[in-house]
């Protein structure tokens, strides 16, 4: 299923993140890259793995649910300004590389004390065999001058690579403070651009169920709210985004208190150092494995957060992420901000979405009513207990959301008490109650209420706040679409916005339903028809509000940054056309049966109609991607990625702009 997408606009081709490091595709006879053997190499010592593994085995034998620890920190002091190998490319840009060898390690990842990645710079890490790849990190998912922890790459030899655009070599700075020696398995990060990747299973319980399989069919929104959390480079927890009463998409993120509390010395009190460590955490959304396929979704990662509130009694921690998560590919639609229920009513059934062992997202389901539970050393009945009919939970699942039968969060995973042994025979999970976390410990730093309902929250009158809130997706945007023959369906989970867009050199493209076309637009909450949208005579448009089921397709959308109301110029207008607002399009020539087929396409399109000159193809952010010479009708688009494109087509009466999609 395809869902809504918000793309990111860049001013030049070099500023768009590529899914592969530049060295993978760069080739030059006159100006070749340094060979891998010539790249500066750092070899670390082998840490004391036995003592760490021994402690983990003891905790495993006790059935402890906790952050999944996979790594041991090795302090270093490495700077891209003084270390590594720098190559200048033919176009004046640069590739910086550093090879790291950790003898005997199962994986390697990195913790940077500071990064500066100016627009157009991209950071990756990959193993020597090029079968495990992490990145890109760039200006939109990092914070300049701040810490950054990157996710593990499998193997004991890893190359760090940064692509640096022309004139940015002195602005791109990486200060590496720790190399993380992976002493036990983690799942390889899947990158869809390299199909030779194969799923490497880590040692998690066999009864886990992938969220993308049948069991997760009804969770098409919520699965995009859940993230695996990299805890400073050495361990994993889970957590999820939360909606707030203002519904302004503030990236509040719910996880477990004990993920913040130092697991080696848990005392139920967070020191300033423990609170500050969340700045070093990284969050990966969309880490989902295609059911029955040998690759995963294209995930999206973000660095850093701030601790807003935490309370040991219900084991909750509320963070605010350092960036606003968005989508980027057809397989990863917009993130979802979960609803919640603080009434305290016991769910009649419940579902948990989580990342056991830091691996691909799993789903666990309890088909029966939950019961109240008392965690040892905590107040009576401050937890909910689920006994799963599908799946289970284990280390790394900590902090995962528990949803009730209405798909609202009622708690987050603390762990499991009262049983030990094999996870698949001990199918319980204990969750701190969201209803009690609302008022928490009585201060802004120990409760949820003042963050999730800042206007109405009153600690002396808890009934002043909303008791339940539905989740919400980012708004779906459809700008500048001109529909082809037949009947079209456009759906949005919550809010749909329709209007005009600009592409290329100031070209304004209207949202148009031509004569003879039928359009069905449906949204869960609201439909906004903005300036410069046309429904022509002889067309039929049906707009309705209603619940969008997971089985209903929600397609890609255009970019908010491309929206432009048409406010000047002449208009081609037929009798009885419906035009929105008071705007006039700058141009709207008849299309004279100009068509692009098939639409959507995979590897080839045909441009049909009377065309007077070459056709230029643009990406959804207005970048020229291809020129099609006059007379060419069949166009190979196999090198273009999935997404929305526009064709600027010269005709006898003017230029026609047609949109088409590529879906693979």
Instruction: Give the CATH number for residue 604.
Output: 2.60.40.10
Q: Which of 538, 553, 588 is the last residue of a domain?
A: 588
pLDDT at 562: 62
pLDDT at position 8 over 50: no
490 and 639 belong to one structural domain:
no
- Element (H or E) spanning 490, and its range? strand 487-492
Q: Are residues 239 and 308 in the same domain?
A: yes
Where does the pLDDT of residue 545 fall: very low under 50, low under 70, confident under 90, or very high at 90 and above?
very high
Domain boundary among 588, 619, 635: 588
Q: Are residues 420 and 532 in the same domain?
A: no
- Residue 59 domain-assigned? no
State the Rg of the chain over Cα: 26
Same domain, 641 and 532: no
Could you tell me which of 456, 465, 396 has the C-alpha nearest to residue 434?
465
Residue 193 lies in a domain: no
In a domain, 277, yes or no: yes
pLDDT at 422 over 50: yes
Question: Same domain, yes or no, for 439 and 291?
Answer: yes
Same-domain check for residues 237 and 386: yes
Is there a single domain that holds both residue 28 and residue 134?
yes
d(CA 185, CA 106): 6
Co-location of 491 and 607 in the same domain = no
- Asked whether residue 36 is domain-assigned, the answer is yes
Taking only the tens place, the pLDDT of each residue in 17-67 is: 567 899 998 988 888 899 888 999 999 999 988 888 887 777 666 656 678
Domain termination site, one of 568, 588, 608:
588
Whether residues 541 and 615 fall in one domain: no
pTM over 0.85: no
Question: In the prediction, which pLDDT does 564 show?
Answer: 59
Query: What mean pLDDT is predicted for residues 358-372?
Result: 95
Per-residue model confidence (pLDDT) at position 262: 80
Q: What is the pLDDT of residue 588?
A: 36
Residue 143 is predicted with a pLDDT of 87
pLDDT band at 395 (very low <50, low <70, confident <90, very high): confident
pLDDT tens string 77-88: 999 999 999 999
Say if 207 falls within a structural domain: no
590 against 290, higher pLDDT: 290
pLDDT in tens, 618-645: 876 567 788 888 878 789 998 888 777 8
Segment 239-249 mean pLDDT:
95
Domain residue limits at 417? 214-472
pLDDT at 332: 58
609 confidence band (pLDDT: 50, 70, 90):
confident
Nearest CA to 212 out of 134, 290, 136 is that of: 290
584: which DSSP letter?
Answer: B
Tell me what the mean pLDDT of segment 438-454 comes to: 96
CA atoms within 13 A on the CB side of 251: 21
Which residues neighbour 621 within 8 Å (Cβ) at sequence distance 6 or greater? 7, 8, 9, 10, 16, 559, 561, 562
467 in the same domain as 413: yes
Residues pairing with 114 in the sheet: 175
Strand order in the sheet with 615-619: 624-628, 615-619, 643-651, 654-662
Q: What pLDDT, in 10s, does the model give residues 168-177?
A: 999 999 999 9
If one counts the domains in the chain, the total is 4
**Are 299 and 229 within one domain?**
yes
Do 551 and 619 have their domain in common?
A: no
DSSP state letter for 232? T
Work out the mean pLDDT of the chain and round it to a whole number: 83
Which of 129-138, 327-336, 367-376, 571-580 has the highest mean predicted lDDT (pLDDT)?
367-376
Is residue 80 assigned to a domain? yes
Share of residues in the chain with pLDDT > 70 (%): 82
Task: Read off the CATH number of the domain in which 431 is found.
Answer: 2.40.10.10
Give me the CATH number covering residue 116: 2.60.120.290
User: Is residue 6 in a domain?
Assistant: no
Residue 274 within any structural domain of the chain: yes
């Amino acid at each position: 299923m395809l869902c809504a997408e918000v793309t990111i606009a860049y001013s030049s081709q070099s500023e768009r993140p590529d899914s592969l490091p530049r060295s993978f595709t760069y080739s030059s006879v006159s100006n070749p890259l340094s060979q891998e053997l010539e790249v500066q190499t750092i070899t670390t010592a082998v840490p004391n793995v036995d003592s760490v593994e021994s402690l983990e085995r003891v905790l495993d034998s006790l059935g402890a649910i906790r952050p999944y620890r996979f790594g041991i920190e090795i302090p270093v002091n490495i700077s891209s300004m003084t270390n590594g190998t720098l190559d200048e490319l033919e176009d004046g840009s640069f590739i910086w590389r550093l090879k790291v060898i950790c003898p005997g390690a199962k994986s390697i990842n990195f913790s940077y004390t500071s990064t500066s990645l100016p627009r157009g710079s991209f950071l990756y890490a990959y193993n020597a065999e090029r079968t495990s790849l992490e990145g890109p990190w760039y200006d939109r998912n990092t914070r300049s001058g701040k810490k950054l922890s990157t996710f593990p790459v499998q193997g004991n030899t890893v190359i760090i690579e940064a692509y640096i655009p022309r004139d940015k070599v002195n602005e791109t700075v990486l200060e590496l403070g720790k190399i993380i020696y992976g002493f036990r398995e983690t799942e390889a990060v899947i990158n869809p651009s390299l199909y030779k990747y194969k799923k490497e299973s880590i040692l998690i319980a066999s009864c886990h169920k992938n969220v993308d399989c049948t069991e997760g069919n009804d969770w098409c929104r919520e699965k995009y709210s859940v993230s695996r959390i990299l805890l400073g480079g050495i361990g994993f927890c889970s957590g999820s985004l939360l909606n707030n009463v203002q519904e302004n998409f503030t990236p509040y993120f719910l996880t477990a208190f004990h993920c913040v509390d130092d697991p080696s010395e848990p005392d139920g009190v967070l020191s300033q150092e423990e609170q500050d460590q969340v700045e070093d955490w990284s969050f990966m959304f969309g880490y989902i494995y295609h059911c029955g396929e040998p690759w995963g979704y294209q995930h999206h990662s973000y660095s850093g957060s701030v601790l807003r509130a935490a309370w040991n009694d219900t084991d909750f921690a509320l963070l605010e992420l350092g960036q606003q998560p968005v989508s980027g590919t057809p397989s990863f639609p917009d993130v979802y901000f979960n609803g919640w229920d603080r009434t305290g009513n016991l769910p009649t059934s419940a579902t948990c979405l989580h990342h056991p062992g830091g691996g691909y997202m799993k789903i666990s389901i309890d088909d029966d009513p939950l019961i109240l539970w008392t965690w040892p050393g905590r107040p009576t009945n401050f937890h909910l207990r689920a006994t799963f009919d599908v799946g289970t939970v284990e280390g790394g699942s900590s902090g995962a959301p528990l949803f009730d039968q209405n798909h609202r969060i009622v708690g987050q995973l603390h762990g499991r008490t009262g049983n030990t042994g094999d996870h698949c025979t001990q199918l319980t999970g204990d969750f701190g109650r969201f209803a009690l976390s609302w008022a928490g410990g009585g201060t802004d730093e120990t409760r949820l209420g003042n963050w999730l309902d800042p206007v109405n929250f009153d600690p002396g009158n808890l009934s002043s706040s909303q008791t339940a809130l539905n989740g919400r997706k980012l708004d779906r945007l459809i700008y500048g679409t001109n529909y082809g023959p037949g009947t079209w369906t456009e759906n949005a989970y919550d809010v749909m916005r329709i209007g005009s867009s600009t592409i290329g050199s100031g070209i304004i493209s209207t949202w148009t339903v031509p004569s003879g076309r039928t359009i069905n637009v449906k949204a869960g909450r609201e439909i906004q028809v903005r300036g410069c949208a046309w429904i022509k005579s002889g067309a039929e448009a049906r707009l309705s509000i209603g619940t969008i089921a997971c089985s209903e397709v929600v397609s890609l959308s255009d970019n908010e940054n491309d929206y432009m109301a048409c406010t000047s110029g002449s208009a081609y207008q037929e009798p009885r056309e419906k035009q929105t607002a008071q705007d006039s399009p700058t141009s709207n020539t008849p299309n004279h049966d100009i068509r692009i087929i098939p639409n959507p396409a995979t590897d080839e399109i045909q441009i049909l109609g009377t065309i007077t000159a070459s056709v230029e193809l643009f990406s959804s952010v207005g970048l020229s991607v291809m020129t099609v010479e006059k007379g060419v009708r069949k166009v190979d688009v196999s090198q273009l990625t999935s997404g929305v494109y526009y064709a600027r087509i010269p005709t006898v009466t003017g230029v026609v702009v047609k949109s088409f999609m590529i879906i693979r």
